[in-house]
């Protein structure tokens, strides 16, 4: 590739103002000695100036409004989904904490109260066991439902 060809490739870059200072100096020296490249760069600069004078395309107002509404709707839906997920997680954690925490408290109270009043609360233990297992199952099912819903929302998003 000759120097002339290298400078011809630089002409469009110069017209677009993307050459650095040293390249611009080299090109200016070449343009002083080459009328063919000088004529070509003048045409490219006119074309570049004409392109800058063209108005920027504008999207139709109806499209802009519709897109903004969809963005707001999507933002609110995403925020609601996150809040629901957090609430279910906290409720599940709370349910597990209450269920696990109630066992030692009830045991302490039933032993102390049973010894003091000479009452044996065997049926209470069966009921507590049933309620605890039912709560665990319900929390597990709720978590599965939320996980499936979350996966479906991700797939459609």
Q: pLDDT tens-digit profile of 2-45?
A: 777 888 888 888 888 888 889 889 888 888 988 898 898 899 88
What are the CA-CA distances from residue 104 to residues 45, 57, 121, 151 (Å)? Answer: 85, 71, 14, 37
Neighbours of 36 (CB within 10 A): 10
pTM of the model: 0.38
pLDDT in tens, 91-137: 778 877 877 777 776 666 666 655 555 555 556 667 677 777 887 78
Q: At 119, list the tokens.
A: 């009452």
Q: Which two tokens stand for residue 45?
A: 């600069």
């Amino acid at each position: 590739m000759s120097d002339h060809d290298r400078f011809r490739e630089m002409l469009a870059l110069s017209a677009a103002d993307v050459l650095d200072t040293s390249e611009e100096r080299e090109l200016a020296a070449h343009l002083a000695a080459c009328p063919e490249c000088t004529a070509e760069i003048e045409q490219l600069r006119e074309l570049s100036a004409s392109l800058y004078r063209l108005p920027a395309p504008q999207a139709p107002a109806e499209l802009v409004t519709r897109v903004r509404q969809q963005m707001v709707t999507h933002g609110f839906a995403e925020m609601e989904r996150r809040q629901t997920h957090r609430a279910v997680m906290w409720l599940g954690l709370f349910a597990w904490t209450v269920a696990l925490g109630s066992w030692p408290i009830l045991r302490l109270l039933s032993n102390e109260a049973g010894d003091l009043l000479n009452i044996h609360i065997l049926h209470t233990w069966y009921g507590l066991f049933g309620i605890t297992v039912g709560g665990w199952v319900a929390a597990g099912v709720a978590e599965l439902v939320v996980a499936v819903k979350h996966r479906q929302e991700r797939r459609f998003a």
